[in-house]
Amino acid sequence: PNPDIRVVVYRPNFSGVLQFNLGESAVDGRSVWELIKSKIPVSAWFGGWSLLLAYIVSLPLAVAKALRHGKLFDSVSSGTLFVLYAIPGFVLAVALQQWLCFRLGWFPHSGFAPDFKHTFIPLTCVTIGSFTMLTLFAKNSLLDNLSADHVRTARAKGLSKARIVIVHALRNSLIPLAANFGHIIGFFLTGSFLIEYTFDIDGMGLLSFDALVHRNFPVFLGILTVSSLLMLVGNVLSDLCVALADPRIRFDKSN
């Protein structure tokens, strides 16, 4: 085949994607990018808070578990984390919605508003899986670093336990977590479509669900494109975070 034909066919479409011209919805003819852009703030709000809470809670808990490795606190918390990790987020969402929303009436069962009542249950359901994974991952990484040679040397010098953990072990333990940052940022920012569907949260997750149900493939492909771009951005941020956490990595003009 003539390669010029392929250029003529693909160049307009590819240049349109670079300009966020993702086509039109097969349902109502609206611009796909305008649809996605209108949903991004809600999913970004949930994703940002979920990501922040996951790291803020998991790191102190991982340190506490590593310092009490093999003791009662470590065993009980590990069992609890394994149970929470095994529960799918959408199952937890339905259970909490039935119990806390419909039976007790403590929280609204649907809708979104940037307040505690509307966001507590969805944030919990979105965060719980990544929180448990990050906690166990950080604990194992910290245990490996606590047995390293430089930590044993610091312990032999008589440094305090807190200084050994925070200064000598914790920073190196953050390297695997920083490397994993890019893989979870796309999920957090695009949302969990089952959880957004359960609580009727008008974000990218619910838009993805509706696109699949109605076979609105231009919208779904547009969401995949935006999610892929977010994943690329997350991988770049991961490399920067690894460079900040790993003292062996330095960027200079000579390299």
26, burial (CB in 10 Å: exposed 0-12, middle 13-18, buried 19+): middle
* pLDDT tens column, 96-117: 888 888 888 888 887 777 778 8
CB 176 within 8 A of CB 139: no
Look at residue 201 and give its three-state secondary structure: coil
Q: Report the alpha-carbon distance of residue 185 to residue 190 in Å, rounded.
A: 8
Q: Report the alpha-carbon distance of residue 224 to residue 218 in Å, rounded.
A: 10
Task: Give me the residue spans of the domains in the chain.
Answer: 27-245
Mention the CATH class of domain 27-245. Answer: mainly alpha
Q: What percent of the chain has pLDDT over 90?
A: 0
Q: What are phi and psi of 24, to 5 degrees?
A: -125, 150
* pLDDT tens column, 131-157: 888 888 888 888 888 777 777 887 788
> Residue 250: what pLDDT?
61
> Residue 131: what pLDDT?
82
Against a cut of 0.85, is the pTM above it? no
Of the candidates 93, 166, 177, 172, the one whose C-alpha atom is nearest the C-alpha of residue 133 is: 177
